[in-house]
Amino acid sequence: MILSTIAFVYAPLALVPIIMIMLLVAIIPMIFFILTLQKALNRCSPENRAMPPENVWLLLIPLFNLVWMFIVVNNMARSLAQEFKKREMTIEEIEPGKSIGLAYCILAVCSVIPFLGILSGLAAFVCWIMYWVKIDGYSSRLLYQELPPAR
């Protein structure tokens, strides 16, 4: 009886290392994603930035990040649009990355809904990767395109 009680009490403790590994595996890609966002904002001139690049790190705060991502997506689109306009570069979107970014945000919020959460969570993951790649592409274009000559 005592042995089974001890096993019942300490069995969840055996899951702690597994949970820690799962959290680590989940947070590493998020850190690289945030670095990409910060790098893209840093490549925009300060007057074109809709938010400070350091603010993207607030995405690491659980639950708060579901709201903050909407703000980041909107400010990233605004910053990139202003920077591309200043550099006189053509882009295929009026607000770069905003449509796929908002799709990701909406699906991420829907992923907390029971039953619907699994499907929307998978779709959010796909949209997250697409948004990440798109922002990285815009960031690369900013790196390799010089500012137009002063008039």
Does 31 fall in a domain?
A: no
Does 46 fall in a domain?
A: no
Residue positions counted in the chain: 151
Does 72 fall in a domain?
A: yes
Taking residues 12-40, what's their average pLDDT?
85
pLDDT band at 24 (very low <50, low <70, confident <90, very high): confident
Q: Considering only CA atoms, which of 60, 64, 38, 56 is closest in space to residue 136?
A: 38
Say how many domains are in the chain: 1
pLDDT tops 70 at residue 34: yes
pLDDT of residue 12: 66
Q: Considering only CA atoms, which of 41, 78, 46, 44 is closest in space to residue 57?
A: 41
Question: pLDDT of 121-134, one tens digit each?
Answer: 999 999 999 999 99
List Cα–Cα distances, 105 to 44, 84, 127, in angstroms. Answer: 23, 24, 9
Q: Considering only CA atoms, which of 91, 101, 99 is closest in space to residue 129?
A: 101
pLDDT tops 60 at residue 21: yes
149 vs 151: CA distance, rounded Å: 6
Question: pLDDT of 58-109, one tens digit each?
Answer: 999 988 999 999 999 999 999 999 999 998 888 888 999 999 999 999 999 9
Does 13 fall in a domain?
A: no
